[in-house]
Amino acid sequence: CTSRVTTDYETLKAMREAGCRLLIVGYESGDPQILKNIKKGATVEMALRFTENAKKVGLTIHGDFIVGLPGETRESLQRTLEFAKRLDVETIQVSIAHPYPGTEFYSYAQENGLITIDSMTDESGHQLPNITYPGLDRAELVDWVERFYGEYYFRPRVVWRLVRKAAFDPAERKRLYKAAREYLDLRSKRKQFVREVKSESLRPEAEGQTAG
């Protein structure tokens, strides 16, 4: 099932009684200003209350977060990361914001000169950032995706929770094994992308020194 953080307790309870077990929830950000920028229509406090209620009625949550939203900074990203850890939902997914033509985000990105490339994926379909912010370039956005996953999942309580589930549930063990392989593959691609972007940024400087 999918749900918004504006869903009240009684509705969540009814969903659980109707057979819903897993909620996919788009939290997007844990920074109040970013939530206003994207016109989320919800607050950090509402998200926290929703999550508490969902857990209370026995619903498992998969939370979606996005890095690189309008007005993003290192500080807003750190707030979102801490927010995600405070929510402590079962699993998370972290995506990179993309301004699609025809959207308000695209107009904002164009007007502020934030779009750096047209492509949003590499040749294998791996997601790439196509925007940059002052003090927050494409490589750092990808770094933040990796940081989210690392800091979220490699906490003792989360590791123990996953190990315990895998130990007693063969289906869960198989799912976690598959997810781990996919994560390691994407992690390798993200690190390669960061190296390539940083190498490109250093090239003009090196060429200038050679010419001098």
In the chain, what are the domain boundaries? 2-155
* Stretch 169-196: mean pLDDT: 68
Structure tokens at 48: 């926290």
pTM over 0.75: yes
Pick the CATH number of 2-155 from 1.10.3720.10, 3.30.1780.10, 3.40.50.150, 3.30.750.200: 3.30.750.200
Q: What is the pLDDT of residues 24-68, one digit of tens each?
A: 999 999 999 999 999 999 999 999 999 999 999 999 999 999 999
More confident residue, 13 or 204: 13
In percent, the amount of the chain with pLDDT more than 70 equals 78
CA distance 65 to 149: 11
Per-residue pLDDT, 211: 54
Per-residue pLDDT, 178: 74
pLDDT bin (cut points 50, 70, 90) of residue 172 is confident
Q: What is the pLDDT of residues 78-135, one digit of tens each?
A: 999 999 999 999 989 998 998 888 889 889 888 988 887 666 666 666 667 778 888 8
In percent, the amount of the chain with pLDDT more than 90 equals 46
CA distance 170 to 164: 11
Q: Is the pLDDT at 192 greater than 90, yes or no?
A: no
Q: Is the pLDDT at 166 greater than 60, yes or no?
A: yes
Per-residue pLDDT, 99: 86
More confident residue, 168 or 190: 168
Phi-psi region of 125 (alpha: psi -120 to 50; beta: other; left: phi over 0): left
Per-residue pLDDT, 138: 82
Per-residue pLDDT, 130: 78
More confident residue, 141 or 129: 141
